[in-house]
Amino acid sequence: MTENTDLKEYWENKPRLLPNVSIDCVIFGFHDNQLKILLLKYKNTEYYALPGGFINLEEDLSDAALRVLEERTGLRDIYLEQFHVFGKTDRRYDETHRQIMAGNGITMKPNHFLMNRFISIGYYALIDLSKAAPKPDGLSDTCDWYDLYKIPSLIFDHNEILQKALETLRLALDEKLVGFNLLPETFTINEIQKLYETVLNEKLVRSNFQRKILSLGILERIEKKMTGAANKAPYLYKFIGE
């Protein structure tokens, strides 16, 4: 049985899923002072989408989010964080779902569950994209990083979901910084400032930023970075308790 026969069988029948509820994952990738976003392109369509999926009837929501992300993109061990539920009644995407399935040679029967209204639970993560190797799933041609400010138009309300995730990321950066695990074991204030500037998409004043980041009480100063000019060398920091 080929992978495609599996897919056909799965989607043409009614899978044992929590009806009317989906999950969408907004994966931000940071590297070299650039912020990118992970998108799938569905086979034989021009449809770009966030990686998303459904919850099995007997599966914890948080497990479902990790499974969906892995099934759609191959990414594992990601620190996913819930951020918002999208629940408007017009989240009903019969025709787009039909075309996505058609692009994979799959026919949706009348009353297929994908014709229902869905509320979607949004999860986001910010990862070091140089350490991630995403790959497309069976329904998709590509799974790639896109410059956040040059993304294609997305299906459904995925542009809105992405926007809300970005707002959440910007507000939560102080609090999630340690968990995201984006910096090397030791780092300079300048390195952490670059991360903030990239996520916030604005230049920050160094003295203000230094005061603010130190006031969070999450950094421990260790020693000066070794360079030729000792008196100009910046201090190195690490996260307290790491």
Binding site for a copy of itself (CB under 8 A): 18-21, 55, 57-62, 64, 82, 84-89, 117, 119, 121, 171, 175
**Residue 87 C-beta: closest distance to a copy of itself, Å:** 2
**Residue 118 C-beta: closest distance to a copy of itself, Å:** 10
Please tell me what DSSP assigns to residue 183: S
Residue 21 or 178: which CB sits closer to a copy of itself? 21
Give strand ranges (E) for 117-233.
119-128, 140-147, 219-224
Smallest Cα–Cα separation from 97: which of 113, 86, 74? 113
37: three-class secondary structure by DSSP: strand
Residue 92 or 224: which CB sits closer to a copy of itself? 92
Residues in Cβ contact with 181 at an 8 Å cutoff, skipping those fewer than 6 apart: 79, 128
Residue 82 or 99: which CB sits closer to a copy of itself? 82
**Residue 95 C-beta: closest distance to a copy of itself, Å:** 19
**Residue 108 C-beta: closest distance to a copy of itself, Å:** 20
CA distance 27 to 61: 18
103: three-class secondary structure by DSSP: coil
Residue 82 or 188: which CB sits closer to a copy of itself? 82
Please name the residue that has the structure tokens 């986001």: 124
Smallest Cα–Cα separation from 123: which of 21, 22, 50, 25? 25
17 class by beta-carbon count within 10 Å (0-12 exposed, 13-18 middle, 19+ buried): middle
Q: Which pair of tokens denotes residue 28?
A: 């931000």
Residue 87 or 179: which CB sits closer to a copy of itself? 87
**Residue 17 C-beta: closest distance to a copy of itself, Å:** 10
> What type of residue sits at position 115?
M
Residue 68 or 100: which CB sits closer to a copy of itself? 68
Dihedral pair phi/psi, residue 65, rounded to 5°: -60, -45
**Residue 216 C-beta: closest distance to a copy of itself, Å:** 12
